[in-house]
């Protein structure tokens, strides 16, 4: 067995033995799964895509996508613990200074430093360039003021990739945006944990910056005005994660449904023998395979170092819409049992919509995809 197959096998066993038996309990209680996260640390998952030069596993994004799918087959929230962390690792690896990489990557690979991603603000999500958080240079440091919204891992993270305006008057607006490594400290205040429909057990909070002082060398790559481009390259990794999540959640729903369809009988035969149920199973299985291939394509491109915003957007769009459909179909197949908390399908159904909204809504994905297609097919 090669290293990739070994890691996948280990993650699969972790999910089967340790995650699936407890996931719904944590999720219903909205409780952070500390023991599971500690195990993920032991398995090296916090360093999954970090180079071995910094103590990580150095896996490619194709393997990472398969790990995310496996984790989400057990419980989607676990992949959220890794997502913003590995997005920041990507940004540091590709845009950080040598000193920034050395400062964070080894501790991140060990899971000692844990990273969140601070982009969205109360008034600005899709319109990223409308952010109002400012970072004003004063001598050897920046002073940051502003408010970030919906920040995943806000309580457990030790450092955030922070997107802020260093020149609020710049035109075009993105030239005024910069990216920082913001460690927790005085002036960085994590607000309340927001109750969610699904994706529970993992924190989503407001994060406020009040006269928060950042050393000048916290500026990623040491250059102002390129923060949006740096953040967007990290978001491609995030979109691969979200698309792989959707495949994992849909697969869990499908596997529960196809098993149930062989156990449950109506009108003298197993429900899987009714053609109406077979049609559903065929559609569900086919769509999951198609989504997985799109994820693989985007991940392969990322591995080759190619720009993949179009392909990652397509994978995220298709997989997340597919996941919503498949989890609903699974609920239909389980009938009343699909709707109650004793069965897992209701959890998958509540987790699915986040993939439609998070990491850029699907409306925005369609715009990005259309823009990419029009460039590619320009006459």
Ligand X SMILES: Cc1cc2nc3c(=O)[nH]c(=O)nc-3n(C[C@H](O)[C@H](O)[C@H](O)COP(=O)(O)OP(=O)(O)OC[C@H]3O[C@@H](n4cnc5c(N)ncnc54)[C@H](O)[C@@H]3O)c2cc1C
Q: Return residues touching ligand X (CB under 6 A).
A: 84, 117-120, 125-126, 150-152, 196, 199, 204, 354, 357-361, 363-364
- Alpha helices (H) along 130-197: none
Select 85 or 101, whichever has its Cβ closest to ligand X: 85
Among the options 203, 224, 346, 359, which is catalytic? 359
User: Cα-atom radius of gyration of the chain, to the nearest Å?
Assistant: 21
Between 249 and 271, name the residue whose CB sits nearer to ligand X.
Answer: 249
Q: How many CB atoms lie within 10 A of CB 283?
A: 14
Residue 359 annotated as catalytic? yes
Of the candidates 119, 101, 362, 327, which has an alpha carbon nearest to the alpha carbon of residue 239?
A: 362
User: Contact 228/218 with Cβ under 8 angstroms?
Assistant: no
Smallest distance, ligand X to C-beta of residue 80, A: 8
Kindly state the greatest CA–CA separation across the chain: 80
Cβ-in-10-Å burial (0-12, 13-18, 19+) of 173 comes to middle
Residues 6+ apart with CB under 8 A from 53: none
How far apart are CB 117 and ligand X at their closest, in Å? 5
Q: Write the CB contacts of 230 (distance below 8 Å, at least 6 apart in sequence).
A: 91, 94, 95, 179, 220, 221
For the bound state, the minimum distance from the C-beta of residue 7 to ligand X, rounded and expressed in Å, comes to 26
Tell me the two tokens of residue 256.
């529960």
Please, which residue, 11 or 151, has the CB nearer to ligand X? Answer: 151
Nearer to ligand X, 313 or 338 (CB): 313
C-beta of 150 vs 348, nearer to ligand X = 150
Q: How far is CA 38 from CA 30, 110, 143, 146, in A?
A: 18, 11, 34, 32
Ranked by CB distance to ligand X, the top (closest) residue is: 125
Alpha helices in 197-226 (DSSP H): none
What is the smallest separation between the CB atom of 152 and ligand X, expressed in angstroms?
3
**What's the rounded Cα separation, in Å, for the pair 111 and 104?**
10
d(CA 292, CA 244): 7
**Measured from the CB atom, is 56 or 201 closer to ligand X?**
201
- Which residue number, 309 or 329, has a Cβ lying nearer to ligand X? 309
| Contact (Cβ atoms closer than 8 angstroms) between residue 87 and residue 234 | yes
Question: DSSP state, 236?
Answer: H
Q: How far is the CB of 68 from ligand X (least distance, A)?
A: 16
CB of 284 to ligand X, least distance (A): 25
Residue 21 C-beta: closest distance to ligand X, Å: 25
Q: Which pair of tokens denotes residue 348?
A: 């998958």
Q: For residue 149, which phi and psi values (nearest 5 degrees)?
A: -125, 150
Catalytic residues: 359
């Amino acid at each position: 067995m090669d290293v990739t197959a070994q890691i996948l096998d280990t993650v699969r066993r972790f999910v089967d033995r340790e995650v699936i038996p407890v996931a719904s309990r944590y999720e219903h209680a909205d409780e952070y799964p500390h023991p599971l996260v500690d195990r993920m640390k032991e398995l090296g998952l916090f360093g999954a895509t970090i180079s071995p030069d910094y103590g990580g596993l150095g896996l490619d994004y194709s393997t990472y996508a398969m790990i995310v799918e496996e984790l989400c087959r057990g419980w989607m929230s676990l992949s959220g613990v890794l997502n913003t962390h590995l997005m920041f690792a990507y940004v540091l690896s590709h845009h950080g200074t040598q000193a920034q990489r050395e400062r964070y990557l080894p501790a991140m690979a060990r899971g000692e430093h844990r990273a969140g991603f601070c982009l969205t603000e109360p008034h600005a999500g899709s319109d990223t360039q409308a952010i109002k958080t400012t970072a004003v240079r004063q001598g050897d440091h920046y002073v940051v003021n502003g408010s970030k919204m919906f920040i995943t891992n806000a309580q457990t993270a030790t450092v955030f990739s922070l997107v802020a305006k260093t020149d609020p008057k710049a035109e075009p607006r993105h030239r005024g945006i910069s990216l920082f490594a913001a460690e927790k400290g005085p002036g960085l205040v994590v607000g309340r944990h927001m109750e969610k429909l699904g994706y529970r057990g993992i924190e989503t909070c407001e994060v406020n910056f009040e006269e928060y002082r950042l050393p000048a060398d916290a500026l990623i790559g040491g250059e102002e005005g390129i923060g949006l481009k740096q953040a967007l390259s990290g978001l491609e990794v995030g979109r691969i994660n979200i698309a792989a999540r959707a495949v994992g959640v849909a697969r869990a729903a499908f596997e529960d449904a196809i098993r149930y369809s062989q156990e449950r009988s109506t009108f003298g035969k197993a429900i899987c023998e009714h053609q109406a149920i077979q049609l559903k199973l065929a559609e569900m299985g086919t769509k999951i395979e198609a989504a997985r291939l799109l994820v693989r394509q985007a991940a392969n491109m990322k591995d080759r170092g190619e720009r993949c915003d179009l392909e990652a957007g397509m994978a995220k769009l298709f997989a997340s819409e597919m996941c919503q459909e498949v989890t609903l179909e699974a609920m239909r197949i389980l009938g009343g049992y699909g709707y109650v908390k004793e069965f897992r399908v209701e959890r998958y159904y509540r987790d699915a919509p986040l993939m439609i909204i998070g990491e850029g809504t699907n409306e925005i994905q369609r715009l990005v995809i259309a823009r990419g297609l029009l460039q590619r097919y320009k006459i």
